[in-house]
């Protein structure tokens, strides 16, 4: 396979479109594409080798979710391979204690009075 040149079409993961799309090579560094431009949304970004970025997971939310699952009989908690999630869950026990689920019925919307037109005198 030949080296990429400026303007060549190449497939890459677009960070705006959130999928692998056609791109044009915008800059080259060490005979490899460095920056590319999406041919669909025209956004420029670094060449990602068709790899999507890792998902963003809030470790505190995951720890609270696992705590809720632990209180439900028969539920299996989500695996916590990431050590940071365990450490943050232990470091912030007040967050875990503050979570208490309460079902509150939604209030019914109030009827608004109709506006009256002023009579001409």
pLDDT score of 2: 77
* Domain limits, the chain: 9-46, 59-98
For the chain, residues with pLDDT lower than 70 are: 1, 75-104, 111-115, 119, 121
47, 32 contact by CB (below 8 A): yes
Q: Which of 96, 107, 35 is nearest to 69 (CA)?
A: 96
The conformation of residue 4, written as its DSSP 8-state character, comes to: P
CA distance 43 to 17: 9
Predicted TM-score of the model (pTM): 0.46
Q: What is the pLDDT of residues 70-101, one digit of tens each?
A: 888 776 655 545 434 444 444 444 444 445 55
pLDDT score of 96: 45
pLDDT score of 12: 93
pLDDT score of 24: 94
């Amino acid at each position: 396979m030949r080296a990429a040149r400026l303007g060549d079409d190449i497939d890459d993961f677009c960070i705006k479109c959130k999928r692998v799309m056609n791109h044009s090579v915008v800059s080259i560094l060490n005979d490899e594409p460095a920056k590319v431009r999406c041919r669909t949304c025209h956004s420029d970004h670094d060449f990602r080798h068709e790899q999507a970025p890792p998902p963003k997971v809030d470790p505190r939310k995951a720890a609270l979710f696992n705590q809720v699952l632990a209180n439900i009989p028969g539920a299996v908690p989500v695996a916590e391979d990431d050590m940071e999630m365990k450490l943050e869950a232990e470091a912030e026990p007040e967050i875990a204690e503050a979570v208490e689920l309460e079902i509150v019925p939604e209030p019914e919307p109030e009827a608004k009075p109709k506006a009256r037109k002023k009579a001409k005198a």
